Structure 1
Amino acid sequence: MATHSGNGDPVVHLREFFLARQPILDNTQGLIAYELLFRSAAAGPANVTDDLLATASVMANAAEMGMENVVGSSLAFVNVDVTVLMSDFVSFLPHDKVILEILESVKVTPEVIARIEQLAAAGFRFALDDVIAASEDVLRLLPVVEIIKVDIRDMAQDDLELLSARFKLAGKKLLAEKVETIEEFENCVRLGFDYFQGYYFARPVVLVGRKLSPSQLAIMQLMELLRSDADGSAIERAIKQDASMGLNLLRMVNSPGAGLTHRVDSLSQAVMVLGRRQLQRWLQILLYAEPNKSGRSVSPLLMLATTRGKLLELMADQIHPGNRGYAERAFTVGIMSLMDALFGQTMQAIIDQIGVADEVSQALLARRGPYGEMLKLAEYIERIEVARPLLVPTLRRLGLSIEQLNAMQLAAFEWSNSVASGA
């Protein structure tokens, strides 16, 4: 049930909506922003009014939630309609962290233009959402927006070329949304798009003969030593043989996400302080960080994998409190769920190389068992626009509430952001 804020506007309780963040990448495939989606948990067909009510509610509580905890160092794209745009809710958002995304349903009036100009003067930036044509309303908003989001799904190539050329000529940044394949990404890069939204980067592109980088190979060999219960000196020697791996490991274990109370300055200390299970965890994370050490933006695979890993760990701890082994296996499922995309190999080939428990294998290959249910829930929330009807039934099977899921997600986002700061 909704309550009301001081100015009479309805505010939705946390338990009544789902929160999702969808990554936005630049043309080097580095992470630069997230679109934040707030969707009503009400049963039945998607209700735009309820979704925007949820958005307004989150704006009203943005200070409490902490935008930086949700998106880290990235920007946040937030949907706004006329009601939200004209309301005081917008002022709760940090203008330096947010791009206000004007929905296609907004009817452009002199009052709307004046409000956008007022907010722009206060430091807010604007994007146009779901543009599929240069309509009259789009053209009227063109002078006051910075980014045009083009929905490329089902758009003919000729139309996409004409539309992108027109907006580029107007000096606008272009964001391609619903990009689902590497071919679509490459096509949009060729057309001059600047930003990309969609899960093409998380889809495995299996390349025959592809080899792991030397550092990835070193990490895999070290993980094998840990699995075979090699002695500590052998593990330390293996780390020291790859200088970059040692440096990256030290940097990551000293990040806020590691939760250590004092700084670790040597590899032997890292091995001793972390313990073998925790070292295995940080090596899994390091696999995602290694390909990204060129200095560009944060790897979206690193962010997605660490978020999934932490979210599944928190779910497992909620379902079976105090069972560390159960939670550790859940974390492994989340982290490993994107290794096919990372390595360009089938998941079966990866499992053959990295020995895992049967229940972990079942979750990764077939989304079966309790870990499989948790992984499905994480994937559904990422794809909330198409998978929303599946969320509540999956939560019920796991014995979790919407409120618990939202709290766990916020904790997972914050943890993933802190890990990325050390990667």
Structure 2
Amino acid sequence: MFAYVARQPIFDVDREVFAYELLFRIGEDNCFPDIPPDEATSKILTSTHLSLGIEEITGDKKAFINFHRDTLMFRFPTSLDASKVVIEVVETVDVDDALIAACKHIRGLGYPIALDDYDMDGKWEAFIPFTSIVKIDITEIAHEEIPALVKRFKSNKIKLVAEKIETYEEFHTFKEMGFDYFQGYFLARPEIVRHRKIGPNKLTMLELLSLSSQANLNLAKVQAIVERDPSLTYLLLRFINNPMVNKRHKINSLKHALNFMGEVEVKKFISLLALANLSDGQPSELMQMALVRAKFCELVYLAVNKQKSAHSGFLVGLLSLLDAMMEQRIEDVVSKVPLDDDVKDALCGRHNVLRECLVLSTQFEIARWASIKQFSAKHGISQSLLHSYYNEAIKWAKHLHNAALEKT
């Protein structure tokens, strides 16, 4: 049984990831067509999490997981590690004394309980004494009513998540109201309020990025740039010694590393390194998202266009959040780097296959399964393969972020 997963970050007030909400499905069609999707999610999870491994998807962050009535009544959440999950009670459940008792028992075993999409219905009153987190969809409750809810929940020591936060303005508004966590696409949308100055170090990074985008890589120039900065040499050695890249050989010199890696992997490394430095000062999740997109777009683009360079797909995914990182229009950012026209077009929103691959990656981020199915049909790539690519990209990004891009 193969599990497909989308993960949606939940941020804290500093815009760093606190947890991920996981959304699962299985098979080529709708997984359980005759039951609600949230029930299907919990059933799929409880039957596959041991083989999939939650930690492979969330790293060291908690996983918020939706559970429906049946799975709560049968105590399915207790098969998970209480330190790694938050049990979301979905808003559609039928509440009675039996369900309340089951949730209270689960909480007593150490599992945090969250009320998903809280709708102010009186049926939730009995849950308040043992609830740890309440999630509020800001599009479903009148904003003038929310401050009173915040005050009440805070008095009960309950943490609050604001859902459907799509802009920085909304993030700041609900942060000021007292919300603890935030879920939505706001982080990936740039707040262009100033022009970030590009200093000498970032110019070096742009020089590296330019080299990585050229058809024929000049390894001598790469070596000249890297060897004048000990920290770059160290990061290169960290990258090549990462088991996700190299499982058998130990590399202990710059020349050896460059020769061993070859042009494709060197291009990939310097692209990653450049982006890591250009995104300095921004939330780490932007870099994580860019890494996932890079690997995913590389794999998909290679599957769609076997005759083309997979690095173009990698580069499109990697640079897709550069506008949010640099707080500039994407058109202005890419104009500073001599990228291939197809890559520039894809990043700037003009239609081509690279753009389709990038859009597909965003569909995974928001669990838009219907769009994924359409891409699968159009390009003759099975949904199973696309989902396996996304799972692989998440794992790859986690390893790279931890091992290759760690600051010295």
What is the CA–CA distance in structure 2 between the aligned matches of 1:191 and 1:305, rounded to whole Å? 30
What is the CA–CA distance in structure 2 between the aligned matches of 1:271 and 1:233, rounded to whole Å? 10
SS in 1 for 2:11: strand
Q: State whether structure 2 residue 306 is matched by structure 1 residue 328.
A: no
Segments of 4+ moved more than 6 angstroms: 291-294
Q: Which one of the candidate residues 63, 66, 69 is aligned to 2:50?
A: 63
Calculate percent identity across the aligned residue pairs.
29
Q: State whether structure 2 residue 79 is matched by structure 1 residue 98.
A: no
Look up the match of 1:396: 377
Report the alpha carbon displacement of residue 29 of structure 1 after superposing the two structures with TM: 1.2
Q: Does the 8 Å contact 1:60/1:89 carry over to 2?
A: no
Q: Does the 8 Å contact 2:88/2:113 carry over to 1?
A: yes
Listed as ranges, the matches of 1:99-178 within 5 Å are 99-133=86-120, 135-153=121-139, 155-178=141-164
Q: Does the 8 Å contact 1:373/1:398 carry over to 2?
A: no
Look up the match of 1:341: 324
Q: Does the 8 Å contact 2:22/2:63 carry over to 1?
A: yes
What is the CA–CA distance in structure 2 between the aligned matches of 1:416 and 1:181, rounded to whole Å? 26
Q: CA-atom RMSD, angstroms?
A: 3.0
**Residues 111 and 155 (structure 1 numbering): CA distance in 2 closer, same or farther, change over 3 Å?**
closer
Q: Give per-residue Cα distances to partners, 1:64-96, cap 9 Å, x unaligned.
A: 111111212221111011112123533432322
Q: Give per-residue Cα distances to partners, 1:214-265, cap 9 Å, x unaligned.
A: 5433211223355576865543342344454444444444434434534444
What is the CA–CA distance in structure 1 between the aligned matches of 2:232 and 2:179, rounded to whole Å? 35
Q: Which one of the candidate residues 48, 59, 77 is aligned to 1:72?
A: 59
Deviates most, 278-287 or 247-256: 247-256
**What are the ranges of 5 or more consecutive residues in structure 2 without an aligned counterpart?**
none
Look up the match of 1:369: 352
Q: Which one of the candidate residues 213, 220, 226 is aligned to 1:239?
A: 226
What is the CA–CA distance in structure 2 between the aligned matches of 1:108 and 1:226, rounded to whole Å? 57
Look up the match of 1:5: none
Q: Does the 8 Å contact 1:182/1:200 carry over to 2?
A: yes
Q: State whether structure 2 residue 389 is matched by structure 1 residue 408.
A: yes
SS in 2 for 1:37: strand
Q: Which one of the candidate residues 13, 29, 40 is aligned to 1:53?
A: 40
Q: Give per-residue Cα distances to partners, 1:179-207, cap 9 Å, x unaligned.
A: 11111111222222221111111112234
**Residues 239 and 96 (structure 1 numbering): CA distance in 2 closer, same or farther, change over 3 Å?**
same
Q: Does the 8 Å contact 1:367/1:376 carry over to 2?
A: no
What is the CA–CA distance in structure 2 between the aligned matches of 1:180 and 1:395, rounded to whole Å? 28
Q: Which one of the candidate residues 171, 174, 178 is aligned to 1:192?
A: 178
AA aligned opposite 1:358 = D
Count of equivalent residues: 402
What is the CA–CA distance in structure 2 between the aligned matches of 1:93 and 1:80, rounded to whole Å? 12
Q: State whether structure 2 residue 284 is matched by structure 1 residue 299.
A: yes
What is the CA–CA distance in structure 2 between the aligned matches of 1:195 and 1:288, rounded to whole Å? 27
Q: Does the 8 Å contact 2:217/2:263 carry over to 1?
A: no
**What are the ranges of 5 or more consecutive residues in structure 1 without an aligned counterpart?**
1-12
SS in 2 for 1:366: coil
**Residues 120 and 352 (structure 1 numbering): CA distance in 2 closer, same or farther, change over 3 Å?**
same
